[in-house]
Amino acid sequence: MDQPKIYVAGHRGMVGSAIVRILQIQGYSNIVTRNHAELDLTDQAAVRAFFFTEKPDQVYLAAAKVGGIHANNTYPAEFIYQNLMMEANVVDTAFRNGVRKLLFLGSSCIYPKMATQPMIESALLTGTLEPTNEPYAIAKIAGIKLCESYNRQYGASHGVDYRSVMPTNLFGPGDNYHPENSHVIPALIRRFHEAKVTKNPAVMIWGSGNPRREFLYVDDMAAASVFVMNLPKSKLDAHVQPMQSHINVGTGEDLTIKELAVAVGKIVGYQGTIDFDTNKPDGAPRKLMDSSRLNALGWQAQVGLEVGLAAAYQDFQVQLTT
Ligand SMILES: NC(=O)c1ccc[n+]([C@@H]2O[C@H](COP(=O)([O-])OP(=O)(O)OC[C@H]3O[C@@H](n4cnc5c(N)ncnc54)[C@H](OP(=O)(O)O)[C@@H]3O)[C@@H](O)[C@H]2O)c1
């Protein structure tokens, strides 16, 4: 195989590490990485020096400052500044060093708070964003527009082909299981595991359990990323427009938080009851991506929820011991 030199930015994160795993499984062996301590992507001079030295052929931009509602609310300046700087530095420096293929990872929070469900790509910039993570979402939208703008200005002249994917909620190996600062699946895994170990007869879940959410196993996300990166341009161009080029990545299916809690409890082997604290807020009633654009391009999620949850629980147990 003709081996492109591939830079995976954020390779120690949940998504970046899964991208490295999938690339290696698919036979790509010329992968270059730097951790945050070695290369701060907000530092333009350092990013330029790195690209000048390494001269990668392709870039997966999976590095980002990410966090939950509390972190987004407490550190909005850091979220907008660091994400804008990382994207601007990596995209521009990639261009200056002849990188033709780059994949930017965004998030479903780019869509308006009141977007029609399931959320379709054309909903971008049609309404007001969710205020709690607006600075982060604005940075992610800027990332999409950076890629599109470099394509529009330098596509024909320099062969620039920068693409964006917008994942739904992800889970799996490498997730963050912090007791106060984690997403819903890792939080449920920890709570059911602790309840099992302490023989707690009931676990209380915030809210009614009725909101519907979508979850994608992280290895599926990584596989989708490699798939989109490698799609022939003519095929991709038949499904996207120059100023609306991002691609949603989801399973196309959602479930209630109650159904999810039951599934996690079963995987963990928790025997007690699950109660719901209806005094706590529910959030949006439904959040589901429309992934038909990606499906039409030929990609579908492979890992079912139960299989993914079992792998995530195994990962949690490994993390507990390390
Ligand atoms: N996880 C999800 O459910 C989810 C859902 C939708 C979209 N996404 C998107 O997927 C991407 C990756 O998310 P993730 O869940 O893999 O996050 P993650 O586990 O926190 O990984 C992010 C990585 O970026 C690195 N990083 C942060 N700031 C950096 C900087 N200034 N310079 C260099 N490296 C830096 C981090 O290194 P340090 O930890 O050392 O700082 C970390 O390795 C993000 O764009 C996110 O928006 C994730």
Q: How far is CA 82 from CA 48, 195, 246, in A?
A: 17, 38, 21
Residue 136 annotated among the catalytic residues of the structure: yes
Q: Please choose from 15, 65, 247 the residue to mutate so as to test ligand 1's pocket, defined by most ligand atoms within 8 A of CB.
A: 15
For residue 123, give the DSSP letter. Answer: G
| 212-213, strands of its sheet edge to edge | 255-256, 212-213, 286-287
Q: Quote the tokens at residue 187.
A: 């939080």
Cβ 65 under 6 angstroms from ligand 1: yes
Per-residue pLDDT at 1: 52
Nearest to 150 by CA among 202, 195, 88: 88
**Running along the chain, 322 residues long, what does each successive block of 10 average in pLDDT?**
91 98 98 98 98 98 92 95 98 98 98 97 97 96 98 98 98 92 92 97 95 98 98 98 98 97 98 95 92 98 98 97 89
**Cα 250 → chain centroid:** 10
Per-residue pLDDT at 2: 78
**Chain-wide mean pLDDT for the chain?**
96
The pTM assigned to this predicted structure is: 0.97
Q: Please choose from 66, 93, 184 the residue to mutate so as to test ligand 1's pocket, defined by most ligand atoms within 8 A of CB.
A: 66
